[in-house]
Amino acid sequence: MRTLLLVTTLLLAATLCACGDDASDSGNNGVANNGNNGVNNGNNGANNGNNGVNNGVNNGNNGANNGNNGVNNGVNNGNNGANNGANNGDNNGGDPLVECQAVCDRVAMCEELIEACGEETAAALQGACRDTACTDDETRDQILAVGGLPCSVIVPQAIEAFGVQDQCEEVEGPEAVAITVTSDYVTSEIWAVGGETADDHTMLASGSGDMSVSKLNAGSVAVVDRMAATVAVWTLADGGLAQGWTADAGEGSNPHAVAPAREGAWYITRYGSASLLVVDADGEEVGTIDLSNRFDDGIPEMDAIFVTGARAYVVLQNLENFAPAGNSLLAVVDTTNDTVVDYVDLGCQNAFASTLWMGNIYVACTGAFGTLDGEVVAFNPLDDSVTPGVLTEEEVDGDFLAIARGANGWFVASSNEDFSNNLTHVGDDATTVLIEGGMVGGLARSAALESVLVCDGAAPGLLLYDATLAELEPQGPIAIGTQPPRQVIVLE
């Protein structure tokens, strides 16, 4: 893991090792959510809604998942991280050799590799990867561990790992900027964490006690004020962030997440509305998409949104009076014409947190709060299949709040009966409680920092855990403003 001096700047050109990490940023993780999620009045105990937790909630789909997708058009509140090229491995119990070779094929198609090394070298690297590296158990595991990374991260690693530096132009790694929501549940602030010193943070916005952020692509973020029903987009520019379009989501609509639909069009999920909002590149409304016809009360509680290819997948919690009214669903929207083409039953209730990893959408359902009946399920957009039981609440002994994929397991924030929170790593061979009885909120994976960022309301500040969990002690806390951090995403 990088030194504390480096991680406290959080804005750097990364030089990565050949066996680096994924960039799974838990999409919908870690924001105070005023709907299903019970906004908690700063004491981590008051439960206003469905949940009873002060940290976990949900920024829609956002949490940004950098490179965790494999079929991405650069989209999605942080859920997408930019993995261009269809991902052929579903990371759910398939043939490891086939999955490894699928990663090799995807990397060989990366524009960054072809531009830096040429088609001939890219083809040679692909062959060596498929025929040699994937047939060795150790190197195959390393390749699978980085399979969800975006091209901008994985290409420098591949060039170094296969020793073709002399045949390629130098490829710089990505920069990383942490966008963090801090809140006392009365007011909130949005901070860009990065600069020359640990104190060089920039406050982008402030507003109500219920705000969240959605990662749109590697260089853009949407700032959502749920109570004010406004959205503002910020874009990395000249080493800083510049504000772009703004939108009014409609009074009382409770916007949650934002994602690009197609060139010049954007989707905004609205938790308190029956319809998905469509806006143009100026933030002006150009249409709505009705998602209400499967729900008795007409409100689907739309939350996270993921866009892969020409399909948008909207997480619908399906609640009545803040309690599950049935299974949560995914609404499948054709982004070319803004029509609903399908609904997918997730087979679990109260979809509370979500992220993309290796092309799959992972959804953490909490079920009924206070009862260990929740599970994480995986939806594969390639065949519309749902795999249950990826994780269970019994494994972490608490209600799911946020999830992020590490290099060799899952980081999970969960709520206890006394409304305190735990941070647990669920690996292939062992489950490790990293924080017990704390105030853990949002989680985000950063490939550039080789870390999982954790919002710690008790510190308060950001903690950085080695994504491989080779070290159990985190770096930090990195203090941000005067309020506890609730959600974090990473632009990289």
- pLDDT one-digit tens code per residue, 258-289: 999 999 999 999 999 999 999 999 999 999 99
Contact by Cβ (8 Å): 316, 325: no
What's phi and psi for 433, nearest 5 deg?
-85, 115
Q: Hey, is 433 helix, strand or coil? A: strand
How far, in Å, CA of 422 to CA of 415, rounded?
Answer: 6
Which is it for strands 220-225 and 421-427: parallel, antiparallel or unpaired?
unpaired
**Could you tell me the pLDDT band of residue 230, with boundaries at 50, 70 and 90?**
very high
So what's the pLDDT on residue 431?
Answer: 95
Residue 410's Cβ-count burial label (10 Å; 0-12, 13-18, 19+) is buried
pLDDT(92) > 60? no
Tell me the pLDDT tens digit for each residue of 356-372. 988 899 999 999 999 99
DSSP label of 229: T
The DSSP line for 73-124 is SS-TTBT-TT--S-----SSS--HHHHHHHHHHHHHT-HHHHHHHHHHHHHH
How far, in Å, CA of 403 to CA of 405, rounded?
Answer: 7
Report the alpha-carbon angle 129-135-136, nearest 5: 100
What's phi and psi for 64, nearest 5 deg?
50, 115
Q: Hey, is 58 helix, strand or coil? A: coil
Contact by Cβ (8 Å): 81, 356: yes
Among 53, 46, 39, 440, smallest CA distance to 271 is for: 39
Residue 323 CB-half CA count within 13 A:
4
So what's the pLDDT on residue 376?
Answer: 98
pLDDT greater at residue 412 or residue 144: 412
The answer to the question of residue 230 being in a domain is yes
**Could you tell me the pLDDT band of residue 86, with boundaries at 50, 70 and 90?**
very low
The answer to the question of residue 269 being in a domain is yes
So what's the pLDDT on residue 40?
Answer: 38
Among 1, 148, 145, 7, smallest CA distance to 66 is for: 148
> What is the arithmetic mean of pLDDT over 39-67?
36
The answer to the question of residue 145 being in a domain is no
Q: Residue 327 CA to chain centroid, in angstroms?
A: 22
pLDDT(333) > 70? yes
CATH at residue 64: 2.130.10.10
So what's the pLDDT on residue 160?
Answer: 84
So what's the pLDDT on residue 53?
Answer: 34
Which is it for strands 431-438 and 421-427: parallel, antiparallel or unpaired?
antiparallel
The answer to the question of residue 10 being in a domain is yes
Residue 444's Cβ-count burial label (10 Å; 0-12, 13-18, 19+) is buried
How far, in Å, CA of 84 to CA of 151, rounded?
Answer: 7
Q: Mean pLDDT of all residues in the chain?
A: 81
Tell me the pLDDT tens digit for each residue of 469-482. 988 999 999 999 99
Residue 377's Cβ-count burial label (10 Å; 0-12, 13-18, 19+) is buried
So what's the pLDDT on residue 76?
Answer: 36
Which is it for strands 440-446 and 177-183: parallel, antiparallel or unpaired?
unpaired
So what's the pLDDT on residue 237?
Answer: 76
So what's the pLDDT on residue 239?
Answer: 63
Among 257, 308, 267, smallest CA distance to 81 is for: 308
From 152-156, 348-352, 376-380, 388-392, the region with the lowest mean pLDDT: 152-156
How far, in Å, CA of 441 to CA of 53, rounded?
Answer: 9
pLDDT(5) > 60? no
Amino acid at position 420, single letter:
S
The parent domain of residue 69 ranges over 4-83+173-487
How far, in Å, CA of 474 to CA of 4, rounded?
Answer: 10
Tell me the pLDDT tens digit for each residue of 160-169. 889 899 999 9
Tell me the pLDDT tens digit for each residue of 208-221. 999 999 999 888 99
Q: At what angle do helices 151-161 and 96-108 cross, to 10 degrees?
A: 100
Q: Total structural domains in the chain? A: 1
Number of residues assigned to the chain: 492
pLDDT(21) > 90? no
From 52-66, 91-105, 141-155, 422-436, the region with the lowest mean pLDDT: 52-66
pLDDT greater at residue 311 or residue 88: 311
**Could you tell me the pLDDT band of residue 16, with boundaries at 50, 70 and 90?**
very low
Tell me the pLDDT tens digit for each residue of 428-471. 889 999 999 999 999 999 888 889 999 999 989 999 999 989 88
Residue 133's Cβ-count burial label (10 Å; 0-12, 13-18, 19+) is buried
> What is the arithmetic mean of pLDDT over 97-104?
90
How far, in Å, CA of 355 to CA of 80, rounded?
Answer: 9
Q: Looking at the DSSP assignment, which residues form a beta bridge with residue 278?
A: 267, 287
So what's the pLDDT on residue 176?
Answer: 79
**Could you tell me the pLDDT band of residue 144, with boundaries at 50, 70 and 90?**
confident
Q: At what angle do helices 111-131 and 96-108 cross, to 10 degrees?
A: 150
Amino acid at position 438, single letter:
G
The answer to the question of residue 75 being in a domain is yes
The answer to the question of residue 423 being in a domain is yes
Q: Hey, is 482 helix, strand or coil? A: coil
So what's the pLDDT on residue 285?
Answer: 98
**Could you tell me the pLDDT band of residue 173, with boundaries at 50, 70 and 90?**
low
So what's the pLDDT on residue 195?
Answer: 43
Q: Looking at the DSSP assignment, which residues form a beta bridge with residue 39?
A: none
pTM of this prediction?
A: 0.74
pLDDT(418) > 60? yes
Amino acid at position 412, single letter:
V
Residue with tokens 């530096």: 165
The answer to the question of residue 252 being in a domain is yes
Q: What is the dihedral of CA 311, 380, 178, 475, to 10 degrees?
A: 180
Tell me the pLDDT tens digit for each residue of 109-142. 998 899 999 999 999 999 999 999 999 988 887 7
**Could you tell me the pLDDT band of residue 29, with boundaries at 50, 70 and 90?**
low
Q: Looking at the DSSP assignment, which residues form a beta bridge with residue 380?
A: 385
Q: CA quadruple 62, 64, 70, 75: dihedral positive or negative? A: positive
So what's the pLDDT on residue 200?
Answer: 62
The answer to the question of residue 162 being in a domain is no
Preceding amide of 460 cis, omega within 30: yes
Contact by Cβ (8 Å): 145, 408: yes
Residue 77's contacts (CB-CB under 8 Å, 6 or more residues apart) are 27, 59, 60, 61, 62, 63, 64, 213, 214, 215, 216, 222, 257, 258, 259, 304, 305, 489
**Could you tell me the pLDDT band of residue 94, with boundaries at 50, 70 and 90?**
low
Q: Looking at the DSSP assignment, which residues form a beta bridge with residue 308?
A: 311
